[in-house]
Amino acid sequence: MNERLQKAIRFCFYALVLFLPFSTSGSQIALGALILLTLVRSIIERRLPRPSGPVGWLIVAMVAWVLLAAPFSLDFSTTAPRLAKYWIWLTYFVSLAALNSRETAQRAVKILVISAGVTAIYAIAQHFFGDAVPRFLVPQVKLWQKTGGYYHSVALFDHHLTYGNNLIVILLLGLGLWFAVQGLKDRLIIGAALTLGMLGLLWSYARSAWVGLIAGLMLFAGLKGKKALFSALIAVVVAGTLAASLSPTLAGRLRRAVTSSSNLERIYTWKTTLDMIADHPLTGIGPGVYRSLTDSYRAGYNINWTAKSHAHNSYLQIAAESGIVAGLLFTAILAVLFVFGLSRHRDITSNTTQRHLLAGAVGACTAFAVSSLLQHNAGDAEVCMVFQVAAAILVYLATETGDDP
């Protein structure tokens, strides 16, 4: 019975990672099934589910603080339904519970990367043909058109920032997998999927994701050694220069990324969010209230505001919604993952599957953490769930012992 149950749990985990690159509904259905089966296993084994390790306890503490602060929301009728979204933070716990071998972790990353690569074919077609590319089983969206008639790729999501930031976590995990696999066939398959994913990311025009990927890539390369870090730096510069010279659209997007006048809205969005935090430091304004409160904080600025749904920064957004403590707990989750992964990677001296996959997981979590400075990734289920899978893989590999399978 337990063996069958474990197989069912593993199957649902593989289904979860399969759906993460393209289907929110599919991934959440798989998550729901995974939660149910994990609870059934706990009942059979007469073992009370509990957080494992500091990352798990920090996640519990953050979500608990959000729930405790919620009744003090400035508009509880808006906040109450938004609390349900926090159930996706169970992704970390059930993913960690499903990882029972290094082989399971490697296979899950392989499924995730190949799924993202196949999805990227569709995203690349969107870049060139826009709304002419049909979307099956999901609502059609109006793609953003930019210079030269090209479009932001969104794949089967509804926003290019969601797609781009979902991809960076997968690409870093996949890079670790590429070094971990041995056979030529596997390396070609993973390499092709990563190449397609990189093109999808490039043509998503998601600058926050580009920054996150570069940060994660530099860390990953640094774990490989000084030569790898230098090579990665050269590769990023060459690729950026080449892309900008071949595409006026990309060149303009890159220029706007480093021009302060092009980022005034985001800068003042952060400033007004800090004002919200200063006014409501303990329990925050309440999840979901940010949109209705922004106008009152922005009244004194002569800025052409185009967006007001969130702070474009997960650390500030969580602190504004649920108080400084919640923001610090979210920061602590990422900091502990970073330190834990780096310290364990240093202890593994041989180039094993564990070491390569762990480097990819550390790079993936770093990419999420850095891009979250520029985008509210923690509030985007498609991004937050794939991050939690990467975090679970990191923790599992950092605590797992034994030889490669």
Please give the pLDDT value at position 405.
41
Q: What is the mean pLDDT of each run of 10 residues along the chain (405 residues)?
A: 88 98 96 96 85 93 97 96 96 96 96 98 93 82 73 92 97 97 94 97 92 96 91 86 71 62 79 95 96 88 79 96 98 97 89 92 98 96 98 94 51
Angle between helices 381-399 and 53-69 (to 10 degrees): 150
User: What does the DSSP assignment read for 172-226?
Assistant: HHHHHHHHH--SHHHHHHHHHHHHHHHHHHHTTT-HHHHHHHHHHHHHHHHHH-H
Give the distance, in angstroms, between the CA of residue 387 and the centroid of all CA atoms in the same chain. Answer: 4
Distances (CA, A) of 137 to 12, 19, 27, 111: 21, 14, 15, 21
Per the CB < 8 A criterion, the answer to whether 207 and 251 are in contact is no
List, in sequence order, every residue forming a beta bridge with 145; answer none if it has no partner.
Answer: 151
Q: What is the pLDDT of residue 259?
A: 59
Residue 401: the pLDDT is: 65
Is the overall model pTM greater than 0.75, yes or no? yes
Residue 120 contacts residue 155 (beta carbons within 8 Å): yes
Per-residue pLDDT at 403: 47
Do the Cβ atoms of 298 and 333 come closer than 8 Å?
Answer: no
Structure confidence by residue, pLDDT tens digits, 287-329: 999 999 998 998 888 777 777 789 999 999 999 999 999 999 9
pLDDT at 45: 87
pLDDT (tens digit, 9 = 90+) per residue, 178-205?
Answer: 999 989 999 999 999 999 999 999 999 9
Instruction: Report the C-alpha gap between 99 and 54 in whole angstroms.
Output: 18
pLDDT at 143: 82
